[in-house]
Each structure stands twice: as C-alpha cells, then as structure tokens.
Amino acid sequence: MTDTSYARTNIAALLVILALSAATMLWLFWHFPVITALATVAILLGLGVCARLARLTDSDMTDLRRTEQSV
C-alpha cells in the first residue's frame, strides 16, 4: 500500500514540475520572445551536440558480450 502512495507522490511531483516548467517558459516567451526563442534553440542545439558526442564516444558493447558468452 505504501508503494502505490509513493508512486502517486512521484507522479504528482513530476506533473507539478512539468507544469511549473511550462508556465515559466510561457511567461518568459510572453515577456521576452526573441531572447527566449534564441535561448531555446541554443539549448536544443547543445543537447543535440551532446547526444552526437555521446554516441561517438560510446564504447562498443559487442566485445563485452562475446567475452561473457565464452566464459
């Protein structure tokens, strides 16, 4: 019974955080549209670059799987 209340608390906290984030973004976009749009594009580009770099630097997991199977 405590597991379900803990899960509900986590879901409620997530929804509150998402609502606050959306409200903050809308407020910023309403008052500072150009700066907010530029900052959003810059952040999304930064995340895209990080994802590319993570994919490039990720080690090949096939070698590890082969050694586990042979043991």
Q: List C-alpha distances in Å: 45 to 21, 22, 39.
A: 19, 20, 10
Q: Which two tokens stand for residue 19?
A: 């609502």
Does the CA dihedral 40-43-47-48 come out positive or negative? Answer: positive
pLDDT tens digit string along 7-46? 999 999 999 999 999 999 999 999 999 999 999 999 999 9
The model carries a pTM of 0.59
Q: Which two tokens stand for residue 8?
A: 């509900």
Alpha-carbon gap, residue 71 to 65, rounded angstroms: 10
pLDDT score of 52: 93
